[in-house]
Amino acid sequence: MTTPMTETEIADTATHGSFADCWDLDPDTIYLNHGSFGPSPKQVIADREEWSRRLERQPMKFFCQQMEDLLEQTASDLAGFLHTKPARLALIDNATFAMNIVADSITLQAGDEVLLTDHEYGAVRNIWNQKCRQSGAKLITAQLPFPLDTDGILAAVEQATTTRTRVIVVSHVTSATAAILPVEQLCHQARQRKVLTVVDGPHAVAMLDLHLDRIGCEYYCGSCHKWLCAPFGSGFLWVHPRHHNAVHCPVVSWGGSIAGRTPCWKDRITWLGTRDPAPLLSISAAIRFLNRIGLNTFREHAQSLIHFVRDELLSMDGCGPLCTTSAQDVVSMVSVELPQPEGWQPGYHGSPDPLQIELRDTAGIEAPVAAWNGHRFLRVSAHLYNSRQDMERLLTALRSAKTLQ
């Protein structure tokens, strides 16, 4: 059982500028991969455990009388955080699940085109590849400029858009390259051509100030287990009201058939079969935790560490910026291009670069080293539990790494 921190303890850590005690992390690991799998603080873990205990004490009452109302309250809390309306948010396990629902909800015909960028996340590309194979549509990739700039991004997507384009899928913050894309401008551009837009936004939640109603997309898929620090298994799907009736969940269960309740577009997403909704319900605790410390405190702390490590990495032989050339373009995560040793081959998902293995096994540092479009890169994340010392230890390990050059 996880012991929650008191309000006084949280306030004390904030006062002294050290937040590591809010987490229960492996003391033998320097964790610099929050961008992939963000661990929850002890306060949020305690909240998740309490929801699970409450379920186990009286499952029938919890599932049949309480769960829907509780999820709606959580959706209301999250809607306030994301500056939208609860009626537009459905809680779902993660952004990948949400993206599958979106793909299942959009009708495509043979000859239609779905446009992605070359920075899109692999799982998202897989989802739309499958959708296109099933429908006879074609998947098109817009090649964004290297390095990135807003005008070049807009021009590249505009140039790749044709009269056959039905959907544009774009990351708000890219996964591999850690770049913030101009999604509002892209959505406005697409809307002028009557093209649907789907934003994949797991990395944007809490890293950026999100006003979902302003973005202009039809669908927004998010995960809360990254910078928001909610438990694994917590995410959401935002849908513009004009598409609520079109939402179709590929998992068919009891949604929409509960006696005494008015059917809602979220029903099938809420009822996916018997599952523990504790991670979803703990989104509220994660929001409270970050709000108590302060979103600006988190962002300023993370950005200062990221700017420091970025500058030091760029001073090392063979290293350079990956896509983003300005330090102001990064907040809590950055990717830096690394030199490619003789005989180097890009790895695949689940097959880490030898440097990643060396950092983990010899220095106790967890940070992804991977490949994107033929570029070898290191991605570094920072959250409240990280420190300047963590970044210095990473730099020391890299300078002596056998597999860097």
Q: Which of 241, 200, 243 is nearest to 220 (CA)?
A: 200
Distance, in Å, from the CA atom of 265 to the CA atom of 231, rounded to the nearest integer, reads 25
Phi, psi of 166 (to 5 degrees): -110, -30
Distance, in Å, from the CA atom of 365 to the CA atom of 77, rounded to the nearest integer, reads 35
Instruction: Please identify which residue in the block is written with the tokens 């070898």.
Output: 376
Phi, psi of 283 (to 5 degrees): -55, -40
Residue 326 has what pLDDT? 84
Residue 7 has what pLDDT? 52
Residue 256 has what pLDDT? 61
Question: What digits encode the pLDDT tens for the residues 143-178?
Answer: 999 999 999 999 999 999 999 999 999 999 999 999
Distance, in Å, from the CA atom of 395 to the CA atom of 405, rounded to the nearest integer, reads 14
Q: What is the value of pTM for the model shown?
A: 0.94
Question: What digits encode the pLDDT tens for the residues 194-242?
Answer: 999 999 999 999 999 999 999 999 999 999 999 999 999 999 999 999 9
Residue 16 has what pLDDT? 44
Residue 8 has what pLDDT? 55
Residues in the chain with pLDDT values less than 50:
1-2, 5, 11, 14-16
Distance, in Å, from the CA atom of 238 to the CA atom of 34, rounded to the nearest integer, reads 23
Residue 3 has what pLDDT? 53
Distance, in Å, from the CA atom of 280 to the CA atom of 219, rounded to the nearest integer, reads 19
Residue 14 has what pLDDT? 45
